[in-house]
Amino acid sequence: NAGVTQTPKFQVLKTGQSMTLQCAQDMNHEYMSWYRQDPGMGLRLIHYSVGAGITDQGEVPNGYNVSRSTTEDFPLRLLSAAPSQTSVYFCASSYGKQFSGNTIYFGEGSWLTVV
Amino acid sequence: AQSVTQLDSQVPVFEEAPVELRCNYSSSVSVYLFWYVQYPNQGLQLLLKYLSGSTLVESINGFEAEFNKSQTSFHLRKPSVHISDTAEYFCAVSPVSGNTGKLIFGQGTTLQVKP
């Protein structure tokens, strides 16, 4: 039972480069989201999805794109990396149409450095 | 909108001493409340959650949290900590309505347990 799988775990990018952080879950969860974690700021929501074909912006969406073509996958794209996007990124998923405090499962994180 | 404030960024404590990690929240709607734990270089794990019912909730490893609606708080306590409890702890809330699976996190509290 893999849960939420993120790749890559570590990545170094040059300013201006683009890349995609992959996220996949095998629990048939409808809800998926991306957070970034920065020191002293906790986790902040970047984008989220309530089902295949549906995405919406979170608290800090600028510089990131997402898509949800399947239930399982929710990739996060950095279009033109900036040093301010140096962070730890977490993908998360949760179950069910009616969110009743169902547990949100997190991936192990992707450490991204932009130089 | 919702916000979460964790009142202490770091809490040093000696092994076997009691500890309290404080969390206050602000919300115009009803919310579910959560505590997540993050061990070094790992993802987040759900520690405990309050959905409804008894205001005192417990985890399997001895932590407990009490929901206080009048004070809008959800403090985390443990009567006797172990070295292995050293980690970062995040308080989070999620709106009851909306079915988005979103979490709003506090800034985190680093618990440092000393021998």
Q: What is the pLDDT of residue B8?
A: 94
Chain A CB contacts of B105 below 8 Å: 35, 42-44
Q: What is the pLDDT of residue B88?
A: 95
Distance from CA of B106 to the nearest CA of A (A): 6
Q: Beta partners for A64?
A: A78
What is the pLDDT confidence band of residue A90, given thresholds at 50, 70 and 90?
Answer: very high
Residue in A48, A46, A25 with CA at minimum distance from that of residue A36: A46
Contact B44 A98 (CB under 8 A): no
Q: Is B97 on the interface with A (CB under 8 A)?
A: no
- Residues B45-96: pLDDT tens digits? 889 999 888 899 999 889 999 999 999 999 999 999 999 999 999 999 988 8
What is the pLDDT confidence band of residue B99, given thresholds at 50, 70 and 90?
Answer: low
- Residues A6-55: pLDDT tens digits? 999 999 999 999 999 999 999 989 899 999 999 888 899 999 998 999 99
Computed over every residue of chain B, the mean pLDDT equals 91
Is the pLDDT score of A100 beyond 60? no
Nearest-by-CA chain B residue for A46: B102
Contact B90 A102 (CB under 8 A): no
Smallest Cβ–Cβ distance between A109 and the set B4, B34, B43 belongs to B43
Q: A41, A50, A98, A99: best mutation site toward chain B, by most B Cβ within 10 Å? A: A99
Contact (Cβ atoms closer than 8 angstroms) between residue B82 and residue B15: yes
Q: What is the pLDDT of residue A101?
A: 61
Q: A37, A97, A103, A110: best mutation site toward chain B, by most B Cβ within 10 Å? A: A37
Contact B46 A103 (CB under 8 A): yes
Residue in A51, A44, A89, A46 with CA at minimum distance from that of residue A70: A51
Mean predicted confidence (pLDDT) in A87-98: 82
What is the pLDDT confidence band of residue B100, given thresholds at 50, 70 and 90?
Answer: low
Rounded CA gap, A58 and A48, in Å? Answer: 7
Does residue B26 or residue B40 have the better pLDDT?
B26
Contact B101 A104 (CB under 8 A): yes
Distance from CA of B22 to the nearest CA of A (A): 15
